[in-house]
Amino acid sequence: MEPALDVIGRALNGDEGARAFLERTSSIYVLDVTDNSNPKTYGCWNFIHQALNEIERYESKLLAMLQQPKNASPAATATTAAATTTPTTTPPPDAVRDALVHHVRLLASMALRVARRPPQGDRAIVATCISNASDYHCSPSQSQWLFDLNLELREIVMGRIAAMAFDFSFHRSQSGITSSNGVSSTINHGSSNNNNNGVNNTKSGGPQSVFADHVVMDTFNAILAANAVSTGPSAVRHFATEWIIPSSRNIPVSALISIAHHLALEGMRPASPAGTMDMLQQLSIPISSMVLVPAMADAATDNSNEDEMSSGSGRDSHAGNSRILAKALAALNVWCTATTLTLPQLKHISSKIHLDIVDVLNDAMYSDSSKVVDALADFIEHAMESTFEETVSDDRMNQVRHIINVNESAFRASFSRDQLMVIEQKEMAAILEQLVSAVGLQRIRFLERQNQGDVEVCRNLARVGKAVSATWIGLQQKSQAAGEPLLQHVPERGLLEFLLKAAHHPSVHICGMTLNVIPSFVSNKNLLARELIPLLQRKAIMPHGINSETGDLTLVLDQYGSGVDEFLRFRQTVVADALRTCWEYEPEAYIDSCTSAIEEFCTAGTKAETTHNLSFHLEAALFCVESLGSFLDSEEARSSFAYSDQFSRSMAAVSQNTISITSNPLTVMRLALLLQRWTFWFHKSQKLGVVVDLAASTLTYALQLGELPYAQGLVEETNSNPTKEACIAFEELISVSIDHFTATDKLSALLALWESVYSQRMDGRQVPVESIEPLGRGVCSVILRTPENVQKDAFCSLLACTKQSVDHLMVLIRDEADSGKGRSLLPLMGGELRLLAAIVKCSTTSHVGTVDMMDEDETSPVRTGLSPHLAPVIQQFWPSIEVLASNYCSNRDISSSMGALLSALIPITLQNEDAMAYLRGISSVVSSMLAASPTDDVEVFDEASQFLKEWIVIHGKDVEKTASSGMTVDSSCEEMVQTFQKALVELIAKAEPCLNSSLVDLQVQGQGEAAFESRPPPSREAEHSSFNCLRALLDLLQTMGRLCPIYLMNVKVGSEHLIRRVAGSSVVGLSASDTSLARTSMLFLTTLCELSTHDNEAVQKAMIDNLTQIRKGVVTRLLMGFCGKFVSTLLSPASQLLHTLASKMALRLDFETDMVAILKQEYFLLGDDAKNLTLSVFRGCAQGTISATELETFLCQVWKIHRTDDFSLLPSSDAVARLLQRFSLET
């Protein structure tokens, strides 16, 4: 191959040198002064021009070789082959052509990239090339000649590309190319059944050049559009009005559509020149009325005269029209997105050429092409969005102005946003009437396509139906709120029938779309709810099957590929919402239907297959009843519940049947969930005995599921936990009627149930401790309500099993310590400690309010002290806790469970020596964990930090008193603070080695920037450990800053104040790759900024001094993040921090000076005008005229504009111009 093709070929094969050459060729120019009197530059356009020549020569030589007569002399054939390719063995012609397609695609991609650079950009690169020449100096005339020559070459390349893109005969040959097997090798441009290379072998003559590949042709059109857009708005107008539109009858339709499509796409790029969007809006009328809408109308009626069709057969003609229609719909959708053109505006424009765009859309619904209906659905979904906008945007106002062709002052004087909104709503109402009628007519065709298995057409028709219906509902609600109803409540029956037919489709995706909107049409004036109830009940049944060999239950994918997770989400959201709507309008029919279904399905058959099917049907029926629980959350709804008889019948049927329930773990879990939701009914109906028995049976069923061979698979596949849900049901029942269980016999029965459940876990039933934890909490809450003389024995009984399990595990761990097997038991030990922590937390949490948790005057839980009857029982665990803390805290299960337990044990009051002894003991365990854990053990550090955070939450006020002058505190409080400070110092000492890369000395760094100049950066593992430790520490210190700032200000590490040192580290954290660390750093620094106005003068001064030193570093990193570096989740806390820094009076000194210096950095790429605007915005923050929300809006726009690759083009871009216009007016 020749040089350019050779480089492209090697780049395609992964050659790094070739790829680097192409990259450099795209971005730099080389000056050739071999002849001083005739200097030349070589760059991207030279390379593209040469490559196009080489491809044409290569194809010509290949054509000559293939046209050699079969009886040609060997010498002639050898001569032609040698001229064609270098290798001694000539590859098959079709293989060579296929490979060449990829060469042309890569070349086209390169050309698209450089076409997005404006001519001024090319000129600047050439000027840089000339100025960098050290041994040669061009005269001004020579430089201008080089500039002109490069621009001329760019225009030549564009002319060649335009010729290939707009004239398909450029690629044709009368005879075609016959390959070695005698078949004509052609490339069918744009064919819907092309292979990956866009190459087909057909017997008809036709397109044969590799330039006719459909990907290449589309990229060529994109190149032409990108060149026009990058050159400027005037070039866009010239390209559209002088080239495209006048030649619309001569240029192939597909090329016209592609050009319009790419003009809009290029115009939406952030780096498009200023004024591009306005120019596209000016072109909306000619582009839509002379290109897109006529092309759609012709293609929708199979009248398109497309030159790309390979033959005139009816089938090919119809396929060609389908391609054109799909392309036109996609192009129109993109154009409307770029210009904010709305469907009512399109209808107005199309009426000028005696076409109705809505009729064209209605015709497109009848297409049998999935691509057409998909593009139609995309367009209608986008077109309907404008109805839901609260106001008319500036861009839409500008588009309307161009449509009616008046100047801006006259337009503003004649039209307001509200007037335009009313006008478009009325026009949209008329359009919706047409679309509703058209969608309704699709109900017969929908069934036909469904019977033919055409899922894509059905799915997209459902999308259209959903979009039209949702818009109907939204417009109706808005017009009714305004007092001028434009639409009736229920559209014509045809639309509802279509939606119902789509809702019956077996695909979850298709029926889910329509079930989202159908409930909105339900009212007391129709019987739609009665039609929906049986449909929804069927949709609630999980897709299931029975293994023919084993007879086991299995969950199955539907024939359309929907998985179990998708079905569960669909049922829990879409189906449940629709069910609640049906209940609201037809409660009696709903509950009667569900009751009858439950009674029927509880009559289990004798055959296993029947029982299995019934179990899934019963699970669905229980789901339908369970869904009402959330609807009846309010006391008013409960008191008006008039269907207790039906619900009693349902529960009686469930209580009498075990086969349909116990044969399916999902049915067991559904019953448990139902009991959770309907606890109010059992409580109000005085049927506690019934529900307790039923809940106990449900828990027993759940524990016995392990005996079913298929149960584990079903549970894992659905991510279910029947045992846990059954325990939660028991906990809910206890919470609403706790006094019922405080009787001696009831408490004994409850403790016996707990012992039975726990014993099954210890017997190896594989029941996780998290599953039975809710039941333990429930029993604990009952014990706390019993008389004092009962509690000690009851707590001993409650924790006896846990104590036995912990002692047993400790023996095994100690005995197997040497072999390493003991460590495999640590997760089990961690589970026991988590259970103990949950019970302790329950005992130290009290609901202040009424006994009845279901009453509305219930208040939030508050922290209370540990029960004196529980404390001795906990003390029995202490030797094991100390051993685990000293020897095994590096295990994640042990450290996490230990942290939860110790946090729960922090005493709430310190009025006696026992409480202080407890606190000292807890602190000692934390110290042991820190001392025993490795330096890089992030988990232990995090748990210790959370423990100290909880300590501050409980005792922060007392800690602050000891640091405040003039406040008297007792000795126990002083000892508590000393104990806390000792633990805090140990924590910081533990963090120091891990945080060396982050805790940098501010005096050395100056502005809190990372110090990697004098030492190598840390490894990835060390960086991860450092980030996690810093995040945990900042989270703790932020809490201290809120609750005890005076104390925090005085904490020292050695001779240095802790807040000073960590403040510098938080600056480093702002730009960390760890998002959670960056967010925590922002919140911490925001807290420090807020403390700069604290009532205490010493706190004020300390915070101001620290923030003044790091302020420039903070603002630098934050603005760098807003220049495209941050992830989106950090934008809100970062803007809040910046606003706090700018608005606090004490921090304003030299702030503007710092901002000026920061904005001069190279990472702010929006130009000088945008810099001045940014300064103006921050000045408004300082003056109090710009709120935090307004600053966030501005900075989010800055961040969004920076998220592009065309950095050099941003200052003159349309996005920046619109930013300046919008916020200059607002500021």
pLDDT digits (tens, 9 = 90+) for 157-204: 999 999 999 887 766 543 333 333 333 333 333 333 333 444 443 334
> Strand, helix or coil at 13?
coil
What pLDDT does 1072 receive? 86
User: What's the rounded Cα separation, in Å, for the pair 253 and 1170?
Assistant: 42
Q: Give me the residue label for tokens 């469970």.
A: 897
Please name every residue paired with 861 in a beta bridge, in sequence order, or none if there are none.
847
Closest residue by Cα to residue 869 from 845, 848, 851, 843: 843
pLDDT along the chain (1227 residues), means of 10: 90 93 92 82 94 90 68 48 44 64 94 94 91 79 91 95 84 41 36 39 52 92 96 95 88 93 95 94 95 93 57 64 94 96 95 94 93 96 88 90 90 88 90 93 92 92 95 86 71 89 93 93 87 94 78 72 86 93 91 92 63 86 88 68 84 82 89 88 74 87 82 86 92 88 91 88 69 92 91 93 91 79 85 93 66 42 79 92 92 93 89 82 92 84 93 91 74 88 89 56 39 45 73 94 92 82 88 91 94 90 89 91 93 94 74 82 89 91 90 94 85 91 75
User: What's the rounded Cα separation, in Å, for the pair 322 and 369?
Assistant: 6
Residues of 415-446 as b/e, b for ≥16 C-beta within 10 angstroms? beeeebbeebbebbbebbbbbbebbbebbebb
User: What's the rounded Cα separation, in Å, for the pair 241 and 77?
Assistant: 51
Pairing mode of beta strands 200-201, 40-42:
unpaired
862's enclosing H/E stretch is: strand 861-863
CB 979 within 8 A of CB 958: no
Burial (Cβ within 10 Å: 0-12, 13-18, ≥19) of residue 86: exposed
Query: In this structure, what token pair is assigned to residue 1166?
Result: 């929006």
> Strand, helix or coil at 1056?
strand
Whole-angstrom CA distances from 725 to 670, 671, 730 are 9, 9, 9
Please name every residue paired with 545 in a beta bridge, in sequence order, or none if there are none.
554
Q: What share of the chain is helix, strand, coil (3-state, %, to 5)?
A: 70, 5, 25
What pLDDT does 514 receive? 94
List, for residues 776-813, the tens digit of each pLDDT value. Answer: 999 999 999 999 889 999 999 999 999 999 999 999 88
What pLDDT does 333 receive? 96
What pLDDT does 186 receive? 35
Residues above pLDDT 70, as percent of the chain: 85
Whole-angstrom CA distances from 546 to 348, 440, 468, 538, 550 are 59, 39, 41, 19, 8
Query: In this structure, what token pair is assigned to residue 579?
Result: 């069910």
3-state secondary structure 521-590: HCCCCCCHHHHHHHHHHHHCCCCEEECCCCCCEEECCCCCCCCHHHHHHHHHHHHHHHHHHHHHHCHHHH
What pLDDT does 1109 receive? 87
What pLDDT does 837 receive? 94
Query: In this structure, what token pair is assigned to residue 890?
Result: 């590096």
Handedness of CA 1184, 1142, 1208, 136 (dihedral sign): positive
User: What's the rounded Cα separation, in Å, for the pair 735 and 273?
Assistant: 65
Q: Which 8-state DSSP code applies to residue 241?
A: I
User: What's the rounded Cα separation, in Å, for the pair 1059 and 1072?
Assistant: 20
- Cα 616 to its chain centre, rounded Å, is 33
Residues 6+ apart with CB under 8 A from 682: 675, 688, 690, 691, 733, 736
What pLDDT does 42 receive? 92
User: What's the rounded Cα separation, in Å, for the pair 982 and 553?
Assistant: 59
List, for residues 624-656, the tens digit of each pLDDT value. Answer: 999 887 766 666 666 667 788 888 888 888 888
